[in-house]
A and B are shown apart, each in its own frame.
Chain A
Amino acid sequence: MIWRYIVKRIIWMVPFLFAVSVVAFLLIQAPPGDYLTTYIAKLGESNEVLDQATIDNLRRRFGLDQPLYVQYLKWVANLLQGDFGMSFEWRQPVSDLVWERMGLTFMLSFATLLFTWAVAFPIGVYSAVKKYSIGDYVATTIGFIGLATPNFLLALILMYIGVVYFGTDVGGLFSNEYKNAPWSMGKVIDLLKHLWLPVVVLGTSATASLIRIMRANLLDELSKPYVDTARAKGLSEFWLIMKYPVRVALNPFISTIGWVLPNLVSGAVITAIVLSLPTAGPLMLQALLSQDMFLAGAFVLLLSSLTVIGMLISDILLVLLDPRVKYE
Chain B
Amino acid sequence: MSELAANAPLPAQSDKKADEFAYASQWQLTWWAFKKHRLAMIGLWVIGLMYLIAIFSEFFAPDDPFKQNRRAVFHPPQMIHLIDRTDDGLRIRPYVWEMKRERDPETLAVSYSPSGDKVYLRLFGRGESYKFWGLWETDLRLLATVKPRDKFFIFGADRLGRDMFSRVMYGTRISMSIGLVGVAISLILGITLGGISGYYGGRVDVVIQRLIEFVLSLPTIPIWLALAASLPPGWPIVLQYFVITLIVSLIGWTELGRVVRGRFLAMKNDDFVVAARLDGASEPRIIFRHMLPSLTSHIIASLTLAIPLMILAETALSFLGLGLQPPAISWGVLLKEAQNIRSISQAPWLFIPGGFVVVAVLAFNFLGDGMRDAADPYGQ
Contact = CB atoms under 8 A, between A and B. Distances in A.
Interface of A: 16, 19-20, 23-24, 27-28, 30-32, 144-145, 147-150, 152-153, 156-157, 159-160, 163-164, 169, 262-263, 265-267, 269-270, 273-274, 284-285, 288-289, 296, 299-300, 303-304, 306-308, 311
Given A156-B351, A307-B217, A163 B362 contact: no
Given A31-B229, A152-B316, A163 B308 contact: no
A23 B230 CA distance: 14
Interface in B182-241: 214, 217-223, 225-227, 229-230, 232
B221 A266 contact: yes
Contact of A153 (B218, B220, B354): B354
A148 B365 contact: yes
11 contacts: A23-B223, A30-B230, A32-B232, A150-B315, A150-B357, A157-B351, A157-B354, A160-B344, A160-B345, A270-B221, A285-B229
A20 B219 CA distance: 10
A263 B216 CA distance: 11
Most central of A152, A157, A263 by chain B CB within 10 Å: A152
Contact of B217 (A267, A288, A299, A308): A308
Interface string B157-178: 0000000000000000000000
Interface residues of B, number: 35
A266 B222 contact: yes
A270 B222 CA distance: 9
B319 interface: yes
Nearest to B218: A304
Contact of A16 (B217, B320, B345, B365): B217
A20 to B, nearest CB: 7
Contacts, number: 113
Given A147-B365, A288-B226, A300-B226, A307 B316 contact: no
B341 A266 contact: no
B357 A306 contact: no
A284 B341 contact: no
Contacts of B371: none
Given A148-B361, A150-B357, A163 B341 contact: yes
Contacts of B256: none
B185 to A, nearest CB: 19
Contacts of B229: 31, 285, 288-289
Contacts of B351: 153, 156-157, 160
Given A269-B225, A284-B225, A285-B225, A304 B320 contact: no
A206 to B, nearest CB: 14
B362 A152 contact: no
Contacts of A265: 219
Given A307-B217, A311-B217, A27 B223 contact: yes
B223 A300 contact: yes
A265 to B, nearest CB: 6
B335 interface: yes
B335 A153 contact: yes
A322 B159 CA distance: 57
B206 to A, nearest CB: 13
B222 A300 contact: yes
A169 B351 CA distance: 18
Contact of A274 (B230, B339, B348, B358): B339
B338 interface: yes
A288 B362 contact: no
B218 A270 contact: no
Nearest to A299: B222
A160 B341 contact: yes
B358 A153 contact: yes
Most central of A20, A150, A311 by chain B CB within 10 Å: A150
Contacts of A145: 358, 362
Contacts of B339: 156, 274
